[in-house]
Every structure is written in structure tokens, then in C-alpha cells.
Amino acid sequence: MLDYAFTWLTNSEEEENMFGQMRLEQFPELVNKTQKAVSAWDGVNWKELVGASYKPIVYLGSQPVNGILHWFVAEQTIPYKFEIRHVIKMAILEKDGEYTFDDKTVFKII
């Protein structure tokens, strides 16, 4: 079971229009932490990525393709005037002992 929470924030105008905004709480460390998951996550040079930062939440498993895709649910933080945070599904490609963030696999969940 995951130990994170979502909180709905509303004001009276939003309640009238039945709209809300979700606030993501702080996530604990990676769930389903296996050696494969840690190696895949730590093998990516995250400092080379510009525009967002990522934090793993759950390791979902791996998929053999032209290499191996390691699937994660992660928290994506985009710096702006304020931090924009999303929960995403993403993969890290392992090929020939190298790990790379596969930006074609990113899917926003929340």
C-alpha cells in the first residue's frame, strides 16, 4: 500500500462551480525498492535534464524491448513562479549497460 495522500483544495467559488485543485503531499521514499529499480534510477544522469526534476514513487517493473524499459510512477516538479508538481508514469531505458530517461514514455497521471 502506498503511503501518500492527495488533498483537495477548494474555495467557495470553486465549490459552486464544482471545480477543485489537487495538492500533492510529500511522498515517502521509493516503494518496491529492488536493486534493479535503484540501479536504473541512479544510473540516469538527472543533472543533464533541463526544465524538470523527478522523484521516484513506485517501481512498476521492467519490459524487454530493444534494451529494457524500467517503469516507474514518479513525481515531476517543474520550476515556474511556483513549483508545478505532477504524478507521472515514466520509463528508464537500459541498453548496453547505460541508463537513459525515455521522455517518449512520460504520461501524466495527476
Identify the band that residue 28 occupies on the pLDDT scale cut at 50, 70 and 90: low
Give per-residue pLDDT as tens, 52-101.
899 998 899 999 999 999 999 998 988 888 888 889 999 999 999 999 99
Partnered with residue 104 across adjacent β-strands are none
Round to whole Å and give the CA distance between 71 and 31. 13
Is this prediction's pTM over 0.75? no
Residues in a beta bridge with 79: none
Strands 98-108 and 84-95: antiparallel
Q: How many CB atoms lie within 10 A of CB 108?
A: 10
Q: In angstroms, what CA-CA distances link 107 with 34, 39, 47, 76?
A: 23, 22, 21, 11
36 vs 14, more confident: 36
